[in-house]
Amino acid sequence: MGTRSGDLDASVLAFIQHKEGITLDEIDTLLNKQSGLLGISGLTNDMRELLEEESENQDRRAMLAIEMFCMRVKKYIGAYLAEMGGADAIVFTGGIGENSATIRARICKDLSFFGLELDPAKNESVSGGKEGLISMDSAPLKAYAIPTNEELLIARDTLRTIEKLPRRW
């Protein structure tokens, strides 16, 4: 995540409080606003900037943040596929998933045993609000990049809720 900690052992909270001498509110800020890509890299929570730092300066903390991010996503793909007994497709969405062919490729690397094989040309061609299939046509497990439109979904849900309310005029 960009600024949030992700999974952690619950005992970490007491350890941080004891070791750092900070309040629960400060721990909350640390884990939700100063962790994730930002906390690991010490630079930014923006994956574009981290990839730039990796490319231009070989910044080791930026590289670690990127590597950890990709590993965690890969771990969750494996866990969810195991829990569901497989799937027909996986979908990359959100800022990074929609727009970073590099990150999608790193996440999918070595997942061919699941039947997932990216098509490098398709993967590179899908970004900037486009959607499409990014896996090989022959791959048993398909991969897509699909942009989100959270504002539209919120507006639709709000409208549905309002329409269910009794009219008072």
Predicted local distance difference test score (pLDDT) of residue 39: 95
Query: Closest Cα partner for 144 from 123, 161, 164?
Result: 123
Query: Closest Cα partner for 72 from 44, 45, 37, 101?
Result: 37
Predicted local distance difference test score (pLDDT) of residue 129: 82
Predicted local distance difference test score (pLDDT) of residue 43: 96
Predicted local distance difference test score (pLDDT) of residue 92: 96
> Mean of the pLDDT values across residues 23-43?
94
Ordered by where they begin, the domains of the chain are: 1-67 (no CATH), 87-169 (3.30.420.40)
Predicted local distance difference test score (pLDDT) of residue 169: 63
pLDDT digits (tens, 9 = 90+) for 151-168: 888 999 999 998 888 877
Predicted local distance difference test score (pLDDT) of residue 85: 96
Q: What is the pTM of this model?
A: 0.84
Predicted local distance difference test score (pLDDT) of residue 152: 84
pLDDT digits (tens, 9 = 90+) for 47-93: 999 999 999 999 999 999 999 999 999 999 999 999 999 999 999 99
